[in-house]
Amino acid sequence: MEYELVYQSEYITNFWNAPNKILRTIWTTPISMPEEVYRQEVLSHLDITQKYAPQGMLVDSKNAYYNVMPETQDWINQKFVGVVADIGLTKVAWIVSEDFFAQISFDQFIDDAKDQQALKIQYFTNNEEAIEWLLK
């Protein structure tokens, strides 16, 4: 699947596949980073998500080691739910991290998002299976 690079920073890279309306996001957050920097990255990601209005998202969090604070998780959920409602996102495929604590942060975010939206979210360990699921 071909992707166009649409955003890149030190911690996040976003790619867009127009034919399938899939936004691919790669998170590379260290264990320790300023909370405000993390929030700014989330806002950048949400801006890109709103701009491209994907039907599916492929989120690679294998190298996302930052342990998100509970207050920030709540903040992300509030922001994300609004964007999902606006754009009609239907599927999110997560490529999961090996790091247990970082994964718990993502799990908590996902559980909250699933509670508030009719959004299908699935975990994968490789891109191929995730893409196959997104294209169904």
- What is the pLDDT at residue 106? 57
Q: Note whether residue 56 is domain-resident.
A: yes
**Number of folded domains that form the chain:** 1
Q: Note whether residue 106 is domain-resident.
A: yes
Q: Note whether residue 60 is domain-resident.
A: yes
What is the pLDDT confidence band of residue 97, given thresholds at 50, 70 and 90?
low
Q: Note whether residue 5 is domain-resident.
A: no
Domain that holds residue 100: 13-67+76-126
Three-class SS string for the chain?
Answer: CCCEEEEECCCEEEEEECCCCEEEEEECCCCCCCHHHHHHHHHHHHHHHHHHCCCEEEEECCCCCCCCCHHHHHHHHHHHHHHHHHHCCCEEEEECCCCHHHHHHHHHHHHHHHHHCCCEEEEECCHHHHHHHHHC
What is the pLDDT confidence band of residue 43, given thresholds at 50, 70 and 90?
very high
Q: Note whether residue 131 is domain-resident.
A: no
Q: Does the pLDDT of residue 33 top 80, yes or no? A: yes
Global pTM reads 0.83
Q: Note whether residue 88 is domain-resident.
A: yes
- What is the pLDDT at residue 11? 97
- What is the pLDDT at residue 101? 45
